[in-house]
Structure formats: C-alpha cells, structure tokens
Amino acid sequence: MTNEHVVPRSGRVVDGLLLLAPVLLFGLLAAFILVDPASGVTASNGPATDEAWNIVNARNFVLLGHFSTDDWNLHLVNVPFSLVQAAVFSLAGVGMAQARLVSVAAVALTMVALGWGLRRPLGSVPALLASLAYGTSTLVLYYGRLAFLEPMVALGLTAGALLAMRAHDRHSGRWGALAGIALAIAIGTKPSAAFAAVGILVGLGVVGARSSAVRRWLGGAVVVIAGAGLAWVALVGLPNRDAVATDLRIWASEPILGSLTGALQRVAAFPLHNDRVTRLAAPILLFGSLGWVVALRVRRSLPAATLALLAVATGWLVAGFALLAVAPYRPNRYEVPLLPALAILGAIGASVLIPRLLRGSRVRTAVVGASVAGVLVVPGLLSFGGWMTTSHSRLPEIQSEVRSILSTGAVVQGDYAPAFALQAPVVTLVSRPPTRVNPGDLYRSRGVRWYVGSVDSAPAWASLHPLEWSSRISRMCATWGGHEICLWQVP
C-alpha cells in the first residue's frame, strides 16, 4: 500500500494557514474598525472625507428612502459598491463601522482567493506567501480597514485573473464568462479598473491567442463585460445622463491627454513621486518584481495555467501602473488594486525557486518560507501597530453628538458634512461651485441652515447673506483630519 497521495503533515499545516490567515486578518482589522485613519500615510485628504463621500448615497437610501438628494450621485458610477453598502446598512444599521466591514471582508476574501486559487498550480507555500503578501501589505492594512472602493476592486480583479487558469479547459467559454462577471463588478465599482481589466485580457491574449480554448475564454469574458456595460448604459447611464455628467465633474480632473511632454515628465517622476508607494509597498513590490524576473526566465517551461497567470498579472500591472504614471493625481490608495498582481507574480517565482533550490527538503522549505513570510508580513504589521496605538476613535463620538444636535430633515452643507452627519436623518450637501456640483445660493434654494467646516472656511453663499452668516453659532467643534472642524448653525 502506498501513501504517495497522502498530504504530508507539513502540507496540512500550510493548508490550514491558508484559511487561518484571512480569518486572523479579518479579526485584526475588525477589532480596530472604529479607530480613525492615521495621519501622514498619504498626502491626500481622502481619509478624512472620501469614506463618507463613497457611502453617502447608500446611507441616503436607508435613512431618507432614496439614494439621491442632490447633485452628489456617485452610486450611479459605483453601483456594486453602493448596493452592497445599502444592503449592509439595511441589515446592520447606518454607521462607519458597518461600511468599513465591507472593505475588511473584501480583503479577507481576496486573501482566500489568492491562497486557495494558487494552491493547486503553484503549491501551498507559494500560495500562502501570496496571500500574506497582499493581506499584510502596509497599504492594504491601512485602506483595507476604511470604506474605500479599492479593496472591492482588488477582489473583483483577483477573481477574474485567477479564472484565467481555466482558459485551456474544455468549457473555457463558461470560465471566461465567470471571469467577465468578476471583472465587470470591479469596473462597476470603480470605472478606472477597466484599464487593469483590459490589461488582464490583453495579457492572456498575447500568450494564448492561437488556442481556440483561450479565444473562447476571452470571448466569454468580453461578451459579459460588454453586456454589463450596455446594461448600465440602458438602465443607469441614459436615464440619469445629467447626474452622471455631474459625477464626472466630481472625480478629480486628470489631464491625461494633455501634452506629450507633460505626460513623459509625469512618467519619469512616478518612481519618486507616487505618494510614498515605493516605501509603503516595498516588500510586495520586491516580492512581485523578483517573481516576475524568475518567471520570465523560465516561461517556456511553465505549465499552461501558470503561464496564463504570468500573462494576466503582467498585463494587469502594466496597464494599471501606466494609468497611474501619466495621471497627475495619484494618491497611494489607487495602487491597492494592483497589489494582488504583484502577489501572484511573487508566488510564481517562489513556485519555481523553492523546488530547485531546496530540493524537496521540508525543513529547508519551512525555514525559507517562514523567513520570506516574515519579510513580507512584519513591516506592515509594525506600521499597523503604530497607527492603532497613536490614533484615536473620535468619529463615533462626533457622529453621536451631531446626531443629537440636528433635527430630522435638516440640510447640512460642507465637505465634512457626510462624515459628521452620517447617522443623522438629514440631507448632507457637498458643494463645488467651480465644477457646478451643488452650486448657487444653497441658503435660499435648499434651505441650508447648518454648515460643517473649519473655523476659517465659509460656504460660497456666505457673501450673499452676510448678516445671517455673521450671526452663525458654533454648536460643536472637533479635531478631524488634522483640522479643527465645527458645526455651525445659521439663522
């Protein structure tokens, strides 16, 4: 009787870690779900504002009965995200903790997808390294605990890319259609994910265009993505074309199609001017880069499924980083959806090197695997520990106090209004007159009598109603996003 098919004890341990690691990370992020975003991680003010901006429409739906109350209608261009958030709010109530749990769950599921998706083709140890490289990356530990779009985008792209391993199967068209659903969800969550999705499809096409099975996979994916796009246009885009046009003005203005000289200058500066990505993501960048070099050298000997992984991860990164390199505004959270591709490339390299260098020794494999895991995991966990011990949990108290002050149906204006008044059944307005987002005399047209802003700020209509503005009363103030922000009542 032979035991060649029995999984070794060490293999069972690693397989157990493939499940345990995402669970532990979910627990770690959830345990600190109410801690405010740490300062100094990004030059963007996004952590103080964008969380609430992302979820305000889902919050409107649950508290006010409809997604839209004004020009701020991002639910039209991040449909999957807003639907999930609305479902969570409906079940668990409106709150930042509930909103953030969506991102925490997306990170954990991405780790599961990487670990168990790569286990069979690459081996348990490389798969575990990929899962840990992503989940404990400093950027993921920071943004994976906040209500941003990027963790959900990363999950969709990861699922779609991993399904490329089935591109040579008999029913490849069905697998391609399933991948198309995952990629369509990523694009629907954040339309700029289309660049990474196209990179995935082009990468697979480059290495497998001669295979009819691969062509069926690509056809299935393209048909589903195109169908989802057409459905959005018919059901959302055209009926709400004015609101969608306003959403385009809400997004950061990116002169990507400007002068060639300007674009080349931005590309050249990207390695040094990328909102500290090079330092914050150093372990996974090194892991992925080394893995890519190793995989590229032995690409002719790689199995078809592994070669497909190499191709889609490469296309994913090339397209994703190309977009960021030419864009003048690139906060480091934009890189989060690209990190799973680096994890995949690192795992491919590990799957090649481990058997060749360690010659099947379980002890050496365990030692080397643990050492590499330490290099990948420790920097992020140290940063996370520093953030959690030096940051506060001010937002729940702020929201509770604001909720006690505001009456139902009040209209509150200000960039910080969606965050401060998240749990109050009131209308929150973010006004950007230069781009015609909630412009005009909101004091008169919308009945704004509350303003949330710093002590030296004022709404655009203040000059139209100087007497009323000068008579404003500060009802509460709090430090948020490094600024003293007050809730002002205007007569």
Q: Would you state the pLDDT for residue 359?
A: 75
Per the CB < 8 A criterion, the answer to whether 213 and 167 are in contact is: yes
Amino acid identity for residue 349 in this structure: G
Packing angle between helix 96-122 and helix 46-64, nearest 10 degrees?
A: 110
Per the CB < 8 A criterion, the answer to whether 350 and 126 are in contact is: yes
The per-type count for the chain, helices as H runs and strands as E runs, is 21, 5
Per the CB < 8 A criterion, the answer to whether 75 and 239 are in contact is: no
24, pLDDT greater than 80: yes
Per the CB < 8 A criterion, the answer to whether 111 and 21 are in contact is: yes
233-237, 269-273, 313-317: least confidently modelled range = 269-273
338, pLDDT greater than 60: yes
CB-CB neighbours of 381 under 10 Å: 14
Bridge partners (DSSP) listed for residue 484: 479
Q: Would you state the pLDDT for residue 262?
A: 74
User: If you average pLDDT over residues 172-182, what whole number do you get?
Assistant: 98
Q: Would you state the pLDDT for residue 275?
A: 93
Q: pTM above the 0.75 mark?
A: yes
Instruction: Give the confidence band of 46 by pLDDT, cuts at 50, 70, 90.
Output: very high
20 Cβ contact list (under 8 Å, min separation 6): none
Total residues found in the chain within this entry: 491
Q: CATH: 3.40.1000, 3.20.20, 3.40.190, 3.90.25. Which one for 395-489?
A: 3.40.190
Q: Give phi and psi for 447, each to the nearest 5.
A: 70, 35
Packing angle between helix 124-135 and helix 96-122, nearest 10 degrees?
A: 160
3-class DSSP state of 255:
coil
6, pLDDT greater than 70: no
Element spanning 478, H or E: strand 473-480
Instruction: Give the confidence band of 2 by pLDDT, cuts at 50, 70, 90.
Output: very low
Instruction: Give the confidence band of 253 by pLDDT, cuts at 50, 70, 90.
Output: low
CA dist., res. 44 & res. 327, Å (int): 14
CA dist., res. 177 & res. 173, Å (int): 6
8, pLDDT greater than 60: no
CA dist., res. 58 & res. 48, Å (int): 18
Element spanning 484, H or E: strand 483-489
167 Cβ contact list (under 8 Å, min separation 6): 175, 176, 204, 208, 211, 213, 214, 217, 218, 308
Domain ranges of the chain: 9-31+41-390, 395-489
Amino acid identity for residue 430 in this structure: V
Q: Would you state the pLDDT for residue 254?
A: 59
User: If you average pLDDT over residues 212-239, what whole number do you get?
Assistant: 98
> Does 432 or 329 have the greater pLDDT score?
432
3-class DSSP state of 452:
strand
Amino acid identity for residue 362 in this structure: R
What is the per-residue pLDDT across 121-173, written as a single tens digit (0 to 9) for each? 999 999 999 999 999 999 999 999 999 999 999 999 999 999 999 999 999 99
What is the per-residue pLDDT across 429-483, written as a single tens digit (0 to 9) for each? 999 999 999 999 999 999 999 999 998 999 999 999 999 999 999 999 999 999 9
CB-CB neighbours of 11 under 10 Å: 15
Instruction: Give the confidence band of 245 by pLDDT, cuts at 50, 70, 90.
Output: very high
Q: Give phi and psi for 451, each to the nearest 5.
A: -135, 135
DSSP calls for 178-239: HHHHHHHHHHHH-TTHHHHHHHHHHHHHHHHTT-HHHHHHHHHHHHHHHHHHHHHIIIIITT
Amino acid identity for residue 205 in this structure: G
362, pLDDT greater than 80: no
Q: Give phi and psi for 317, each to the nearest 5.
A: -70, -45
Tokens standing for residue 150:
């990027």
Distance of alpha carbon 328 from the chain centroid: 19
